[in-house]
Amino acid sequence: MNEFGIIGVGRIGASMARNMLSKGIKISLYDKNFINSDNELNSSLIYDDLAEFVNSISKPRKILIFVPSGGPSNEVISELIQNLDSNDIIIDGGNTNPGVSFDNHQKVKSKNLLYLGMGVSGGVKGVLKGPSIMIGGDIKAYDQIKNSLSLITSKTIDNSQSFKLFGDSNQGHFVKMIHNGIEYVEMQLISSVYYLMINSKKYNYDDIAKIFEKWNDSELQSYLLEISIRKILEKTDDGHLIDRIDDEAEDNGTGRWMLNYAIELGCSVNMLNAALDSRFISKNKDDRKKISEKTEVSHRDFEIDIDALTKAYSFCRLINFIQAFLLINSANKKYGWNISISDALNVWSNGSIIKSSLINSLYKNYSVDNIISDKKIFKDLNELKSGLIDTLSTSLKNDVSVPCFNEALIYFNQMSSATLSTKLIQAQRNYFGSHKIKIN
Contact call for residues 362 and 368 (beta carbons, < 8 A):
yes
- CB-nearer residue toward ligand 6PG: 177 or 384: 177
CB 439: neighbour CB atoms within 10 A?
Answer: 4
- The set of residues, in sequence order, having a beta carbon less than 8 Å from that of 274 and lying 6+ positions away, is 188, 403, 404, 406, 407
To the nearest 10 degrees (0 to 180), the angle between helices 171-199 and 254-265 is 110
- Note the Cα 206 to chain centre separation in Å: 28
Q: Report 16-45 residues binding ligand 6PG (CB under 6 A).
A: none
Contact call for residues 66 and 6 (beta carbons, < 8 A):
yes
Quick one: which of 15, 19, 56, 121 contacts ligand 6PG (CB under 6 A)? 121
- CB-nearer residue toward ligand 6PG: 213 or 251: 251
The minimum distance between CB 353 and ligand 6PG, in angstroms, equals 4
x/- mask, ligand 6PG, residues 213-252, rule CB under 6 A, reads --------------------------------------xx
273 touching ligand 6PG, by CB under 6 A: no
The minimum distance between CB 423 and ligand 6PG, in angstroms, equals 38
- CB-nearer residue toward ligand 6PG: 67 or 353: 353
- CB-nearer residue toward ligand 6PG: 92 or 183: 183
- CB-nearer residue toward ligand 6PG: 252 or 382: 252
Strand partners, 299: none
73 touching ligand 6PG, by CB under 6 A: no
Quick one: which of 95, 104, 191, 406 contacts ligand 6PG (CB under 6 A)? 95
Specify the DSSP element, H or E, that contains 133. strand 132-137
User: CA-CA distance, 274 to 282, in Å (whole number)?
Assistant: 12
* 355 phi, psi to nearest 5 deg: -60, 140
- CB-nearer residue toward ligand 6PG: 8 or 255: 255
180 touching ligand 6PG, by CB under 6 A: yes
123 touching ligand 6PG, by CB under 6 A: yes
Task: Single out the segment in contact with ligand 6PG by CB under 6 A; choices: 47-55, 120-128, 261-269, 356-364.
Answer: 120-128
Three-state secondary structure call for residue 135: strand
The conformation of residue 305, written as its DSSP 8-state character, comes to: -
User: CA-CA distance, 262 to 256, in Å (whole number)?
Assistant: 10
* 42 phi, psi to nearest 5 deg: -60, -35
Number of residues that bind ligand 6PG (CB under 6 A): 12
The torsion of the CA quartet 122, 123, 128, 131, rounded to 10 degrees, works out to 20
Quick one: which of 19, 97, 170, 254 contacts ligand 6PG (CB under 6 A)? 254
* Residue ranges in contact with ligand 6PG by CB under 6 A: 95, 121-123, 180, 183, 251-252, 254-255, 352-353
